[in-house]
Chains A and B, each alone.
Chain A
Amino acid sequence: MQNDKHAIISAAGLGSRLGLNIPKCLIEINGKTLIEYQLELLKKVEDIRIIVGFMEHKVIDLVRKIRDDVVFVRNPDYKTTSNAFSVHLGTHDLKYPFIIIDGDLLIEKASFDTFLEKCNGEESVIGITQAKTEDAVFVTINEPSGKITKFHRTPRGNYEWTGIAYLKNIPIKADGKYVFTEIVPFLPLAYHNIVCYEIDTPEDLDLAINNFDSIINSKA
């Protein structure tokens, strides 16, 4: 693994659809917060940046107890800006490829570890997962080439975009609407299937809790 690898966790948003009065990365499942599970997965990554906005102090205080060398990137305009803007803030100065991760994901270790192995400086890798969320952005895969060729809302597909990616020479612009729309001009791109659960709604949270054992206790 390269020493200059960066991982950027996007955790600035309000998470309004969930109706909990905390940032989504602080949702607790089985006694631990999503951000704690994510930091465990990223133990070997030297440079971790977390983009904070909504209730930034709570996120900073908790993360510092786990890992003191995290760089916090502030997005004070989190109420009026997109997630793509947050990711832009955390990544636009980086000279090397970087991993981006949405802070509202519960991620399985085994498939994430194999994704990390692919983050080797050679090419960008898009994290996809079996379709399950309500608001999914689906991906079209070209089987012979093994690449993603398209992101789409309709028609429904078998796999969806996760919010996890390893990006090489793909900038996320400040005025980008979504992260995936910033990636579109660079398609086709390699992909990796990661078992993960995005938590946007109470139903998503139930699904993640019900599948907790299979996600977190999977063998690496």
Chain B
Amino acid sequence: MKTAFCFDLDGTLTRQEILPLIARDIDLYQEFEALTLATINGIIPFVNSFKLRCRILAEVPISRVKAIVSQVKLYDKVVQFVSNNKECCFIATGNLDIWIEELAQKIGCPIYSSVAKYTEDKLDGIEKILDKADAVDDIRAKGFNRVVAIGDGMGDVGMFQQADISIAYGATHCPNQTLLELSNFVTFNEDALCRTINTLL
């Protein structure tokens, strides 16, 4: 059995959601929270919400976003697992490549992300939003015959459906109902998640 692990980024490897942190920089934190809540509650579809959020954040220079992202707190033990098992760990995030490439390098495993359109330090729009189900297919095509997905939000639903084993991780915030119902394991704590993925190695 050759097992791969596919991690969501925001709230799964990072202790904080990244986009609201950027919003705070332009004083739109509360507005962003409202939009996030509307997304979680299914009032606005995930893809539309993500486009809207990126459009709002486009006014923040890319270099500034990178500086904010570099400060984001991580789940160290989970990141350690990824670092120790680079050959079978992947990140799948809806977040934009240009914003998180350095964070991904720091964590040190291959990453699937959405693709930004940009001119120098300015975000122009989104080239492509990642469908996380495609990431799972791509990982499988690399020769892994079991894919374990780990995530916490609506953006992870496709990944959970496509994976062989799904772990809902509720350490940052409680996983939503849809995701919970698609999961095989539910963990709320970094140690519990690490124990679970270690048994699946």
Interface residues of chain A, those whose CB is within 8 Å of chain B, are 46-47, 60, 64, 68-74, 76, 89, 93-95
A35 CB to closest chain B CB, in angstroms?
16
Chain B positions near chain A (C-beta within 8 angstroms): 181, 183-189, 191-192, 195-196, 199-200
Structural contact, A71 and B181, CB atoms closer than 8 A: no
Residues of B close to A70: CB separation below 8 A: 188, 192
Q: Contacts A47-B195, A93-B200 given: A73-B184 contact, CB under 8 Å?
A: yes
Question: Could you tell me the distance in whole angstroms from the C-beta of A30 to the nearest C-beta in chain B?
Answer: 28
Instruction: Please indicate the chain A residues that have their CB under 8 angstroms from the CB of B184 in the complex.
Output: 73-74, 89
A-B residue pairs in contact (CB < 8 Å), sample of 30 = A46-B195, A47-B195, A60-B186, A64-B188, A68-B188, A68-B189, A68-B192, A69-B188, A69-B189, A69-B191, A69-B192, A70-B188, A70-B192, A71-B185, A71-B186, A71-B187, A71-B195, A71-B196, A72-B187, A73-B184, A73-B185, A74-B183, A74-B184, A74-B186, A76-B181, A89-B184, A93-B199, A93-B200, A94-B199, A95-B199
Q: How far is the CA of A73 from the CA of B200 in the complex (A)?
A: 13
Instruction: Give the complex CA separation of A76 and B185 in angstroms.
Output: 11
Contacts of A73 in B (CB 8 A): 184-185
Residue numbers in B under 8 Å from A71 (CB-CB): 185-187, 192, 195-196
CA separation between A76 and B184, bound complex, in Å? 9
Least distance between B174 CB and chain A CB atoms (Å): 10
In the complex, chain B residues whose CB is within 8 Å of the CB of A60 = 186
Residues in chain A near residue B181, CB distance under 8 A: 76
Distance A74 CA – B180 CA, assembled complex (angstroms) = 9
- Residues of chain A contacted by B183 (CB below 8 angstroms): 74
CA A70 – CA B187 in complex, angstroms? 7
- Kindly state the separation between the CA atoms of A95 and B195 in the bound complex, as whole angstroms: 12
Q: How far is the CB of A7 from chain B (nearest CB, A)?
A: 12
Q: Roughly how many angstroms separate A93 CA and B186 CA in the complex, as a whole number?
A: 15
When the two chains form their complex, are residues B185 and A74 in contact, meaning their CB atoms are under 8 A apart?
yes
Name the B residues within 8 Å of A47 (CB-CB): 195
Distance between Cα atoms of A93 and B200 in the complex (Å): 6
Instruction: Among B181, B185, B187, B191, find the residue whose CB has the most chain A CB atoms closer than 10 A.
Output: B185
User: With A and B bound together, what is the CA distance between A64 and B188 in angstroms?
Assistant: 8
Quick one: closest B residue to A96, CB to CB? Answer: B199
CA distance A67 to B13 in the complex (A): 22
Bound-state CA distance A71–B189 (Å) is: 9
Beyond A69-B191, A70-B188, A72-B185, 16 additional contacts (C-beta under 8 Å) are: A46-B195, A47-B195, A60-B186, A68-B188, A68-B189, A68-B192, A69-B192, A70-B192, A71-B186, A71-B187, A73-B184, A74-B184, A74-B185, A74-B186, A76-B181, A93-B199
Q: Across the A-B interface, give the 3 residue pairs with the lowest CB-CB distance, nearest first.
A: A72-B186, A69-B189, A69-B192
B-side contacts of A95, CB under 8 Å: 199
Given the complex of chains A and B, what is the CA–CA distance between A64 and B199 in angstroms?
Answer: 22
CB distance from B62 to the nearest CB of A (A): 37
Output the nearest chain A residue to B186 by Cβ-Cβ distance.
A72
Expressed in whole angstroms, the Cα–Cα distance for A74 and B166 within the complex equals 10
